[in-house]
Amino acid sequence: MADRVVPVRTCVGCRQRSSISELLRVVAVSGQVVPDPQRRYAGRGASLHPRPECLARAERRGAFRRALRVTGDLSTEALHSFVADRLGQHHEQDGYAP
């Protein structure tokens, strides 16, 4: 039986390579960077660890515009909400109160 190759992508925030199961795909839609957790949106996407520090670093570096090949400003509000919600869910699973 042949070994399965696990797809690997680079986080636009920390630049570390990880399997796609550890990364969140994001796409640009109408001037916004939106999460695509099911990987269903068409078009160019970028990968990001769903952690606040990776999101902040990607914003500081202008990585979303570059990776998504978009000119102009991009709003990351929806992405911030998604990452915060996901972080809250992990804390609840670990027994922490947010």
Q: What is the pLDDT of residues 38-87, one digit of tens each?
A: 999 999 999 999 999 999 999 999 999 999 999 989 999 999 999 999 87
Count of domains in the chain? 1
Residue with tokens 């550890």: 22
Residue 63 falls inside a structural domain: yes
pLDDT for 22 equals 97
Q: Which two tokens stand for residue 9?
A: 């992508």
Residue 29 falls inside a structural domain: yes
Residue 28 falls inside a structural domain: yes
Q: Residue 62 is part of which domain span?
A: 9-93
Q: How far is CA 49 from the centre of its chain?
A: 5
The answer to whether residue 94 scores a pLDDT higher than 60 is no
pLDDT for 98 equals 43
CATH code: domain of residue 27: 3.30.1230.10
The answer to whether residue 96 scores a pLDDT higher than 80 is no
Q: Which of 77, 73, 79 is nearest to 46 (CA)?
A: 79
Over residues 10-24, the mean pLDDT reads 98
pLDDT for 24 equals 98
